[in-house]
Amino acid sequence: MNPLQENIHDAVNKMSDYLAANSKATSWQLKVKFQLSSSVLYLALGQLLAQGKITLEADGINYNVTWGAAAVQKQAAEAANPFQPN
């Protein structure tokens, strides 16, 4: 693994542990707490999103990040009603 991949992998693990304990955070909170560059932050969030572990909801220039069962329920509701506004 190259250094960028290692940083992303570490960020995914740290954010997974934090979100599993707290269930919600903003992208800014995660960036500051774990001292991540914007690139590593968003690549790690993208990886967690692709794995179905989180949902992201835009909030201005930040994202609200939701972990676990709440994320799965929200994704299922959006899939069931794709044309319904949030």
CATH of the domain at 9: 1.10.10.10
Q: Provide the number of structural domains found in the chain.
A: 1
pLDDT string in tens for the chain (86-residue length): 899 999 999 999 999 999 999 999 999 999 999 999 999 999 999 999 999 899 999 999 999 999 986 666 666 677 677 676 65
Is the distance from CB of 62 to CB of 19 less than 8 angstroms?
A: no
- pLDDT for res 68: 82
Domain assignment present for residue 85? The answer is: no
Domain hosting residue 60, numbered range? 3-80
Q: How far apart are CA 60 and CA 12, in angstroms?
A: 23
Q: What is the pLDDT of residue 82?
A: 67
Residue 55: which H helix or E strand, with range? strand 54-59
Domain assignment of residue 29, yes or no: yes
Q: Distance between CA atoms of 30 and 27, rounded to whole angstroms?
A: 5
Residue 86, in any domain of the structure = no
Tell me whether residue 14 is in a domain: yes
Instruction: Give the number of C-alpha atoms closer than 13 A to the C-alpha of residue 75, restricted to the C-beta side.
Output: 16
